[in-house]
Structure 1
């Protein structure tokens, strides 16, 4: 019977050695091969959205105006000041920018006759290559709108012109878009 113990110990050595090697290999330095196409989809940061909603509700409770700029800044973490029509240029050199919608990005509406100060909204969902949902404030005076549908109506499918689902479940007039400001500082952008 004494011989069984050393045989059992030898039988356990190989599996334990293999497990140790696997753990060591898994914890070792690996090359980062992640690219924009293989990265996991960005997610909204719930704490930021909750904070933005709370701040907007507090303002409304005191009779103060609820504006798109503070709401977008609070909901996205993109720290830009000034009217919405200045955000695109203000983001240059500070935040990554582009023409592709991503969850958590700020969509910057151009200043127009209808929107002289522009507008900013935070992408909450990418539905398809031509539709997204946004969270924003003051599209309807002093109101917060969550999950509002936006469609790309640009001729080149480049998100340069959009329509927003507004009242009566209908998409309104076309609005020019400067682009999307990603909540990634330029120094760490891929």
Structure 2
């Protein structure tokens, strides 16, 4: 039940990165970094591959997926700027779903957002250090493997000793909560 709630909150947060005229999450077009930052609330800037080191001392990091955490893909020849995606669902210990931007070609274009894309942990130790990603163009699991650094959580690094404002994704806009601005105010007033 808790992961369903966090998924709803995460998906609502993705609305914050869309232009005001956008009709759905899938209308987003852009890079993975601003998309992941807005969706997770993690305030890190710069190329995706730099997020792991930037998080040290600021945000908790680890090798266990959590809904709302950002998975940082390492810099490789194929991913020269790295990649970041936000965990939207946990299926089991080796399968998660992420929401991210600028991965598959959608309508012949890169940069679009994709919701609930399947990732498989194919690392030998089960530590999410190597993954395979569902690739829309193949309509299946991609053939490539990608090294990752791990997950950045939206909580302060417990070893840091200095406070970091806790990351909080934007609240959900639903039929039950039609006042988006009001829900934003409520979320940040808490």
TM-score between both structures, scaled by the size of structure 2: 0.70
8 Å Cα contact 2:89-2:96 kept in structure 1 = yes
State which structure, 1 or 2, has the greater radius of gyration over its C-alpha atoms.
1
Match of residue 140, structure 2, among 143, 159, 170? 170
Task: Say which structure is richer in helix.
Answer: 1
Q: Which runs of 4+ in 1 moved over 3 A?
A: 55-58
Gaps of at least 5 residues in structure 1 are: 1-39, 59-63
Cα distance, 1:81–1:55 mapped onto 2, change above 3 Å: farther
8 Å Cα contact 1:68-1:121 kept in structure 2 = yes
Alignment of 1:9-158 (within 5 A): 41=3, 43-44=6-7, 45=9, 46-52=11-17, 54-55=18-19, 66-140=30-104, 141-158=110-127
8 Å Cα contact 1:56-1:66 kept in structure 2 = no
Is structure 2 residue 146 aligned with structure 1 residue 183? no
**Counterpart-to-counterpart distance in 1, 2:154 and 2:121:** 21
Gaps of at least 5 residues in structure 2 are: 23-27, 105-109, 158-162, 167-190
Cα distance, 1:127–1:70 mapped onto 2, change above 3 Å: same
TM-score between both structures, scaled by the size of structure 1: 0.70
RCO comparison, higher one (Cα < 8 Å, 6+): 2
